[in-house]
Copies of this chain bind each other. A is one copy, B any other.
Amino acid sequence: MATARKRLTRDESQAQTRERILLAARAVVARNGFAGASVRDIAEEAGYSQGALYSNFSGKEPIMLELLRQHMREEAEQLQAIVKGSDGAASLDRLGTWAGTLNSEVDWSMLALELQLLAHRSPTFAADYDEVHEAHAKNLGQIVAEFYRSLGREPQLDPRELAAGCMALAHGLALQRRKDSEAPAGRLIMTFLGALLADAKPSESPGSEDRET
Contacts and interface: CB of A to CB of B under 8 A. Distances in A.
B121 A175 contact: no
Contacts of A120: 110, 175, 178
Taken together, the copies of this chain in the complex come to 2
A65 B194 CA distance: 34
26 contacts: A35-B121, A110-B120, A113-B175, A117-B117, A126-B178, A130-B178, A156-B191, A157-B187, A157-B191, A162-B191, A164-B176, A164-B188, A165-B169, A165-B188, A168-B168, A168-B169, A168-B171, A168-B188, A169-B172, A169-B192, A170-B172, A171-B175, A195-B195, A195-B196, A195-B198, A195-B199
A146 interface: no
Interface of A is mostly: helix
